[in-house]
């Protein structure tokens, strides 16, 4: 698939080697793309950085979660692009041509699972896997008109993958249709540990207010109406004790602290040629002292408990996935950063709590996709996928 046939820049342009697949099973006939942070036997793992790629050796084993999909019949079609060291949600890597967003070609794909989203949206793969630390499944899914689930933290193994910030990193995948999405979920997730039915949709005014403008608000309100038609009227909840700005800062500091601990030694070993903004994000982590680390960890734990209490056993938070459609490719670095900061105020809720969040392609702004999300209690991943099916049916998208 990579090379001249990949007009979407979704895949790495590297020599192809055979990858084992049973070619029979639940996923037989489905093409699988794999984000280049996962080990695939015979391939190097570059993590979106040419120096990392040059320093790595071909993997001798495939990451267990990827292997399970291959053993269920999925056919590997290539490693997909990622933002550099998976530390962005925009889908722009200074070292490679940007993947093309087939749903909105004048806009970015989102990242860091950029190539995976581009491959599915462009019909070069039926399934593509990625990771989500601070939004790297949810942002590309929203921007490219796909289904994307940030899974409950720790529920699916990330063994055999590059870690960015271990207490935030989660496994995720993209698909266009809910049948394929649920088939992958059944394989990787198993039965939900959360048993209660999710039947109490909630909204928070301050969260909803993060959409960018009046047009986005109207589209979001229409999406909420679709959700209410499918699962019942929403209840308005009070805001969290911490402000969304404080929660965003909490995420940034804790994520950066963990990322520096993982990658700092490599980054300091010699001058590294990193794209704009990447080193700055890592270096923030080197400046987080013990007092700040403790305070932000306490804030995170308090928020998690507060969100768990709000959701209870049957609640699900309805929210915009991102502030609006994907930014235009012509946006400046400053505009991209401003959008990223705004988006992370939405995405930090699932990242800080570790709770699952699914984004559904039921909105459109100026002809570009705009996802709407459901965030549920820990362990309710399959329930969210099945709720997603009901909502997409209500929207006429199944």
Query: Has 136 been annotated as catalytic?
Result: yes
Residue 191 three-state SS: coil
Inter-residue contact 85 to 63 (CB < 8 Å): no
Give every CB contact of residue 157 below 8 A, 6+ residues apart in sequence: 63, 64, 65, 171
Q: Which spans in the chain are helix H?
A: 50-55, 64-71, 114-121, 138-144, 178-189, 205-208, 214-231, 244-269, 278-286, 290-311, 333-353, 381-394
Query: Has 112 been annotated as catalytic?
Result: yes
Among candidate residues 136, 142, 351, 373, the one labeled active-site is 136
Among candidate residues 112, 161, 351, 380, the one labeled active-site is 112
CA distance 298 to 302: 6
Tokens of 319: 């929210």
Q: Is 157 left (phi over 0), alpha (psi -120 to 50) or beta?
A: beta
Query: Has 353 been annotated as catalytic?
Result: no
Among candidate residues 21, 35, 65, 380, the one labeled active-site is 35
Number of residues in the chain = 398
CA distance 261 to 238: 36
Give every CB contact of residue 218 below 8 A, 6+ residues apart in sequence: none
Return the active site residues: 35, 112, 136
């Amino acid at each position: 698939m990579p090379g001249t046939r990949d007009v979407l820049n979704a895949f790495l342009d590297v020599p192809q080697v055979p990858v084992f697949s049973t070619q029979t099973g639940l996923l037989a006939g489905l093409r699988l793309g794999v984000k280049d942070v996962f080990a695939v036997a015979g391939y190097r793992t570059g993590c979106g950085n040419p120096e990392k790629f040059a320093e790595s050796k071909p993997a001798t084993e495939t990451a267990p979660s990827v292997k399970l999909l291959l053993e269920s019949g999925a056919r590997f079609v290539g490693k997909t692009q990622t933002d550099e060291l998976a530390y962005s949600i925009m889908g722009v890597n200074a070292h490679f041509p940007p993947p093309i967003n087939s749903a909105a070609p004048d806009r970015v794909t989102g990242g860091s699972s950029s190539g995976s989203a581009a491959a599915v949206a462009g019909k070069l793969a039926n399934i593509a896997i990625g990771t989500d630390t601070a939004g790297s499944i949810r942002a590309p899914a929203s921007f490219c008109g796909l289904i994307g689930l940030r899974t409950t933290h720790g529920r699916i193994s990330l063994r055999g993958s590059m870690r960015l910030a271990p207490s935030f990193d989660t496994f995720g995948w993209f698909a266009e249709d809910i049948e394929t999405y649920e088939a992958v979920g059944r394989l990787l997730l198993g039965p939900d540990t959360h048993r209660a039915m999710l039947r109490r949709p909630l909204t928070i005014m301050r969260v909803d207010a993060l959409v960018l403008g009046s047009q986005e608000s109207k589209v979001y309100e229409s999406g909420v109406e679709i959700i209410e038609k499918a699962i019942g009227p929403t209840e308005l909840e009070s805001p969290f004790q911490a402000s969304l700005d404080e929660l965003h800062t909490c995420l940034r500091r804790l994520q950066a602290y963990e990322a520096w601990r993982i990658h700092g030694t490599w980054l300091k070993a010699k001058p590294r040629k990193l794209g704009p903004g990447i080193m700055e994000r890592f270096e923030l982590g080197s400046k987080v002292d013990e007092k700040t680390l403790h305070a932000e960890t306490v804030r995170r734990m308090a928020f998690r408990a507060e969100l768990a209490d709000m959701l209870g056993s049957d609640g699900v938070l309805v929210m915009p996935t991102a502030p609006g459609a994907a930014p235009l490719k012509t946006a400046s670095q400053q505009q991209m950063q401003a959008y990223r900061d705004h988006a992370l105020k939405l995405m930090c809720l699932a990242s800080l709590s570790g709770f699952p969040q699914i984004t559904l392609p039921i909105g459109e702004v100026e002809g570009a996709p705009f996802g709407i999300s459901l965030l549920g209690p820990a362990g309710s991943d399959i329930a969210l996928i099945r709720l997603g099916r009901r909502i997409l049916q209500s929207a006429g998208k199944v």
